[in-house]
């Protein structure tokens, strides 16, 4: 994913998965969408860097119940359980520090089948059908042991390219 290849309207980036395809994605909410200059702000676009695609961390039992409840109440066809986690290669964990701010809980997931939904700093596919294509391709690959990851196994890697200039965020 390359912030330098943003669509002219600023709403779409491309996630290229070799051997599978190129997918339309977004990252971040509203005024921060696809803006790496704001990647030090909560719920803004995912910070540039390398991320390992891993099984989504489930968290506590309360968090698991919360996710299932949200999926049920909203009748989401794309359940949280189908999402992937994105672990920073810098920290080998679910968080990273950007310009002194802690960011985390990055995920790879689709918008809802009706096109609604948000991206709180995740890599979010616009198309639920495209997500299923990507998900199936990832699940059909053998996981790899992440170098220096203390046993962490990953489906692959995402390189998020861009050079943030935090002084140009424009929405602080």
Dihedral pair phi/psi, residue 51, rounded to 5°: -130, 140
96-154 per-position pLDDT tens digit: 999 999 999 999 999 988 888 889 999 999 999 999 999 999 999 999 999 988 899 99
Say how far apart CA 2 and CA 76 lie, in whole Å. 29
Residue 170 — pLDDT band, cuts 50, 70, 90?
A: confident
At residue 149, the pLDDT reads: 84
Say how far apart CA 14 and CA 57 lie, in whole Å. 25
At residue 13, the pLDDT reads: 95
The answer to whether the beta carbons of residues 56 and 80 sit under 8 Å apart is yes
Say how far apart CA 146 and CA 95 lie, in whole Å. 16
Dihedral pair phi/psi, residue 103, rounded to 5°: -120, 150
Q: Is the pLDDT of residue 78 over 70?
A: no
Residue 59 — pLDDT band, cuts 50, 70, 90?
A: low
Domain range summary for the chain, segments of one domain joined by +: 3-35+46-160
Ramachandran assignment for 28, one of left (phi > 0), alpha (psi -120 to 50 degrees), beta (any other)? left
Please state, rounded to an integer, the average pLDDT across all residues of the chain: 88
At residue 25, the pLDDT reads: 97
Residue 71 — pLDDT band, cuts 50, 70, 90?
A: low
Residue 61 — pLDDT band, cuts 50, 70, 90?
A: low
């Amino acid at each position: 994913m390359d912030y330098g290849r943003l669509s002219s309207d600023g709403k779409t980036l491309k996630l290229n998965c070799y051997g599978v395809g190129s997918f339309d994605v977004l990252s971040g909410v509203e005024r921060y969408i696809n803006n790496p200059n704001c990647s030090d702000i909560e719920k803004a676009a995912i910070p540039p860097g390398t991320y390992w695609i891993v099984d989504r961390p489930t968290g506590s039992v309360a968090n698991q119940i919360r996710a299932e409840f949200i999926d049920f109440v909203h009748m989401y066809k794309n359940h949280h359980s189908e999402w992937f986690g994105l672990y920073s290669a810098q920290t080998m964990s679910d968080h990273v520090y950007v310009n002194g701010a802690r960011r985390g809980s990055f995920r790879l997931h689709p918008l809802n089948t009706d096109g609604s939904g948000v991206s709180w700093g995740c890599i979010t596919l616009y198309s639920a059908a495209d997500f299923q294509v990507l998900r199936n391709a990832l699940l059909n690959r053998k996981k790899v042991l992440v170098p220096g990851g203390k046993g962490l196994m990953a489906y692959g890697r995402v390189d998020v390219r861009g050079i943030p200039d935090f002084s140009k965020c424009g929405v602080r």
